[in-house]
Amino acid sequence: MRNKFVGKRVDRVDARDKVTGKALYSADYYLDDMVHLKVLRAPHPHARIKSIDVSQARNMPGVVMAITAEDVPWVKNFGMIFKDQEVLVREKTRYMGDALAIVAAETESIARQALELIEVDYEPLPVISDPLQAMEKDTTYIHEPREENCEPGLNPGNLLCSHRLERGDMEKGFAEADHVVENEIRTPHLEHVALQPEAGVARYDKESGVCTMWAATQWLHDIQADVAQALNLKTEQVQIIQPAIGGAFGKREDVSVHIIIALMAILTGRPVKLEMTREELMITQNKRHPIIFRYRTGVKNDGTITAWEAEVIGDTGAYASTGSAVVHQALYMCTGPYNVPHLKGVSYTVYTNNTYAGAMRGFGATQAAFAYETQMDCIAAELGMDPVELRRKNAYELGSITPNGQVLTTSVGIRETLEKAAQAFGYQPGQTSREVDGKLRGVGVASSMFGCGYGEGFPDHSIADLEVTDEGKILVRSAAADVGQGVLTIVCQIVAEVLDIPLDLVEMAPGDTHTTRNAGSTSATRQTIFSGNAAKLAAEELLGKIYHRASLELAKHHPQFLVRDGEVILQGTETRISLGELARIAREKGDPLQAEGCYFPRTDVPDPATGQGDLVYVAYTFNTHIAEVEIDKYTGETRVLRVVAAPDVGRVINLTGLEGQSEGGTVMGLGMALMEKQVIQEGITINADLSTYLVPTSMDMPEMETVPVESGDAAGPYGAKGIGEPALLPAAPAITNAIYNATGIRFFQIPVTPDRLLSAMQARDKKIPKEGD
C-alpha cells in the first residue's frame, strides 16, 4: 500500500526541536568576543535635529564604539518599495522610532547606560498624526514632495500614492438601486505581538568580505538585497542564516535589526548582537495600517447589489514600507466576494508622524473584510433580509468577475462555505437575539476573499532543490520561511507523497542565502501554492532520475520500478537497491541524484487608470465564519461563545495544520474585534507593553470548529490554496455583526471594548441619539 500524506493529519516536522529546546531562535545565538548593541531612538515624533553629541558615550568604560549618521555618510536609505527610510537619521525625526545613534559595548547594560550620555538638541516641528489632516494641501510636509505624488488639492509631501478602480456605469448602477446604503468604517493601528522579539547576531570576515548574520526574516533573499544595497555591498557579501522563527504575521517582512548588526559587525570587526525589548519593538516597528473606508452601495429590494463606490484612506505612518501595496489591496478587495456590476473607487496612502505601518496578516484585505462585511450587514438590516441569504444571493460563482476584472474560472467555493458554515452551526434564517441567564446572545456571519500570491504582475516564484543523500534520505533545500504556519511540513509531505517514502526520510536544510535559492516571502498566503508546487516539480523530476539510474544499475531494459520505504524495487522480482546506495553510485559516476523545481506563474499588472486586468492573482481563497456572542448588559463585556469556520482551501494538504491556522486566525480576529488597539496620540505610542495592549488569552477562547471546503482545481499542488491570512479575515466582522444581532447597536470602528458597548447600550436605553462608534 502506498504511503499517503496529502490530506492527512501529519505532525509538524519542526515540533520536536521546538518543544525540547533544541531549536535556536535569534536571541539564543552567542559568539565569542561578541559586543552588544543598543540604539538611541527619537523621543519626538517630528523634530529637526540641530546636533548630536556622543563624546561622553564614547569615553565611557566598556564602550567599543558609538556612531551617528555623520560617521557613516556612505550608508544609503532603505525600504521595501520606496527607499525613504534612513538607517540613522540626519536632519529630522519623522516618528518616535527613528534611530539617532548606535552604541556597541562589552555588555548590554553598559550599552544601555551609554545611551543616556548622548546629548541631542532638537527643534520640535508640528506633529501630523491624522491622515485626513496630512492630506490637506497646506499641512506641514513630512517628506519632500515628489512629482509623481501630485494630486489636485492634496499635500504632495504627505501623499505617498493613490490608486483607482473603475468598471461599469456608476450612474446606471445607482439608478437601478431601490436603496443606497452609505457608511464610514474605520480600523485602528494593531501590533503583531509575535512571541519572539526582534534580535540578531552578525559577524564579519575581513578575508572573504562576507558578513554573516542570524536574524529572523520572512524573506531571506529580499532582506539580503536590502542590507547589501544600504551598505554598498555585493549581494554575495551578505549571508543570512535563518534561525527558528517565533511568529511573524507580516512584521518580519520589514528590515528590523539586519542593517544595523551588519553595519556594526563591519565597523567594529567583532561579532555583534542586538536584541530589542518588547517596549522598543512596539514603539519602533511596523503596525497594521489604520484605514478609513467610505462606502456607498446601491441595492435592489430583492438584495441584488447594483453599484459600489469606495474611498479608502490609509495611514502608512512615517515611512512607506509596504503601504502603497497594502492600501490599494484594501481598495481592490473593497466589494468582498460579491458580484458588483458597477463599481468605482480610489485609495490614498498617506504619510503621518505615527509609527510606520507595514505588512500584517491579511495585508489590507483584513481591514477591507471588516468594512465590506459591516456594509453587507447594514444592507441586510436595511432590507429586512437574512444576512446569510443576502450573501448567498450575491456571492461569486464560476464566471464571476472580481473588482480587478479577473474572470473566475476555477475553485470558487464561496457559496459552499456559506452553506457548510450554516449547516455546521445550525444557523436558522432570521435568527434574532435572545436572553440567557440575564445575558444577551446574538449570532453574526461574515464571508471573505483573498488573492493568493503577490499578484498584479509582481515577479513571484519559488525554487526548491532536492538531493538523495548517501544515507538514503531526501534533502530539501528551500528558503521558504516557516514562521509557525507549517510550510516546512507541507513541503515534506508533498515530497514524501511523490516519492512514496516515509516522512522521516525527508529532511529540510536550514534556510541560508548562500545554500538555498529564492523561495519568495512567507506572506501573501503563497507558500503552499508556490513552494509546494516547486517541491512537487522537483520531486517528480527526482523520481524520474531515480528510475533512470536504477534501470542502468539493475536492468538494461527499462522495466517497471517502484520506490518504497527507501528502496528502489524492480517489480515482479526480488531485485532492489537502497536509495543511499543508488545515490553513492550516481555521485561516483558524476551524475548525482539531484533535481530542482521552479514555480513561476504569470499575473497581470492592472491598468493604473481603472485597476482592471485579466489574471491578477493565481487563486482566491474564500472563507465564512458564523459566530455567537454573549453580552453582559451591566458591564458591556462580550464573550465569544462559538465560531464555525468554513474555509475554501481548494484541497487540504495537512488537516491538523489547517485547523491550527483556522483557529489561530479566529482568535486573532477576536482580539481585533474586542480588545486590540495600538494607541498612538500625537505620534506618541501610549500602550507599548502587554499589560496595556491587550490580546486574547486562554480564558477568552471560544468553542471553535473548522469545516473545510475543497473546491479543488486551484493553482497549488493537488489543487490546494493557502489559508494563513484568509483564516483571519471573517472573524472580526462576524463577531461585531453578532454584537449587532444581540443589541441592535452597530459599531463602525473597532475594537468594541466593554466601556464603548456599555455606553452605547445606556444611550440606546435612554433613547439618546448615539451611534455605536
- pLDDT at residue 770 in the model: 46
Q: Which of 523, 722, 715, 726 is nearest to 623 (CA)?
A: 726
CA–CA gap between residue 265 and residue 239 (Å, rounded): 13
**Does 561 have pLDDT greater than 90?**
no
- pLDDT at residue 557 in the model: 58
A 10 A CB-CB count for 130 gives 16
- pLDDT at residue 558 in the model: 54
Q: Which domain holds residue 663?
A: 414-439+620-773
In this prediction, residues 587-594 reach a mean pLDDT of 95
Burial class (CB in 10 A: 0-12, 13-18, 19+), 96: buried
Higher-pLDDT residue of 4, 511: 511
Q: Which of 398, 324, 408 is nearest to 358 (CA)?
A: 324
Cell numbers of 211, please?
558578513
Q: What is the pLDDT of residues 718-773, one digit of tens each?
A: 999 999 999 999 999 999 999 999 999 999 999 999 999 999 999 998 865 445 55
CA distances from 104 to 61, 76, 239, 261 (A): 12, 21, 21, 10
Q: Are residues 662 and 577 in the same domain?
A: no
Looking at the domain assignment, is residue 199 inside a domain? no
**Residue 350 Cα to chain centre, angstroms:** 20
**Does 568 have pLDDT greater than 90?**
no
Three-class secondary structure of residue 133 per DSSP: helix
**Does 373 have pLDDT greater than 50?**
yes
CA–CA gap between residue 349 and residue 576 (Å, rounded): 63
Cell numbers of 543, please?
523520481
- pLDDT at residue 62 in the model: 98
In this prediction, residues 662-668 reach a mean pLDDT of 98
Three-class secondary structure of residue 713 per DSSP: coil
Domain end call among 125, 140, 174 = 125
Cβ atoms of 114 and 103 within 8 Å: the answer is yes
Three-class secondary structure of residue 561 per DSSP: strand
Cβ atoms of 708 and 652 within 8 Å: the answer is yes
CA–CA gap between residue 340 and residue 673 (Å, rounded): 27
Cβ atoms of 558 and 568 within 8 Å: the answer is no
In this prediction, residues 328-351 reach a mean pLDDT of 98
Q: Are residues 742 and 639 in the same domain?
A: yes
Q: Are residues 424 and 514 in the same domain?
A: no
**Does 100 have pLDDT greater than 80?**
yes
* Residue found by looking up cell 517596549 in the block: 279
Q: Are residues 60 and 131 in the same domain?
A: no
Q: Are residues 689 and 580 in the same domain?
A: no
Looking at the domain assignment, is residue 135 inside a domain? yes
Cell numbers of 376, please?
453587507
Q: Are residues 180 and 92 in the same domain?
A: no
Cell numbers of 673, please?
474585534
Q: Are residues 304 and 368 in the same domain?
A: yes
* Helical residues (DSSP H) of 176-277, grouped into ranges: 220-230, 258-268
Average pLDDT over all residues of the chain? 95
Looking at the domain assignment, is residue 227 inside a domain? no
Maximum distance among all Cα pairs of the chain, rounded to whole angstroms: 91
CA–CA gap between residue 339 and residue 402 (Å, rounded): 8
pTM of the model: 0.96
Phi, psi (degrees; rounded to nearest 5) at 288: -75, 140
Q: Are residues 165 and 92 in the same domain?
A: no
The residue type found at 207 is E
Q: Which of 85, 48, 96 is nearest to 284 (CA)?
A: 96
* Helical residues (DSSP H) of 647-753, grouped into ranges: 655-674, 731-743
Burial class (CB in 10 A: 0-12, 13-18, 19+), 486: buried
**Does 665 have pLDDT greater than 80?**
yes
- pLDDT at residue 630 in the model: 98
Q: What is the pLDDT of residues 643-661, one digit of tens each?
A: 999 999 999 999 999 999 9
CATH code at position 522:
3.30.365.10
Cβ atoms of 125 and 115 within 8 Å: the answer is no
CA–CA gap between residue 592 and residue 546 (Å, rounded): 10
Q: Is the peptide bond before 751 cis (omega within 30 degrees of 0)?
A: yes
**Does 2 have pLDDT greater than 80?**
no
In this prediction, residues 219-243 reach a mean pLDDT of 98
Q: What proportion of the chain, given as a percentage, has pLDDT over 90?
A: 91
Domain end call among 599, 628, 658 = 599
Q: What is the pLDDT of residues 155-208, one digit of tens each?
A: 999 999 999 999 999 999 999 999 999 999 999 999 999 999 999 999 999 999
**Does 432 have pLDDT greater than 90?**
no
Q: Are residues 480 and 369 in the same domain?
A: no
Looking at the domain assignment, is residue 154 inside a domain? yes
In this prediction, residues 1-9 reach a mean pLDDT of 77
Total domain count, the chain: 4
Cβ within 8 Å of residue 109, ≥6 positions away? none
CA–CA gap between residue 715 and residue 615 (Å, rounded): 12
Beta bridge partners of 578: 567
Please count the CA atoms within 13 angstroms of the CA of 85 that sit on its side-chain side.
32
- pLDDT at residue 768 in the model: 52
Cβ atoms of 523 and 462 within 8 Å: the answer is no
Q: Are residues 434 and 353 in the same domain?
A: no
Q: Are residues 169 and 305 in the same domain?
A: yes
Looking at the domain assignment, is residue 5 inside a domain? no
Three-class secondary structure of residue 718 per DSSP: helix
A 10 A CB-CB count for 433 gives 17
Domain end call among 566, 599, 632 = 599
Q: What proportion of the chain, given as a percentage, has pLDDT over 70?
A: 98
Looking at the domain assignment, is residue 529 inside a domain? yes
**Does 551 have pLDDT greater than 70?**
yes
Q: Are residues 466 and 560 in the same domain?
A: yes
CA distances from 554 to 468, 567, 587 (A): 18, 13, 17
- pLDDT at residue 1 in the model: 41
DSSP assignment of 724-765: TTTTTTTHHHHHHHHHHHHHS---SBS---HHHHHHHHHHHH
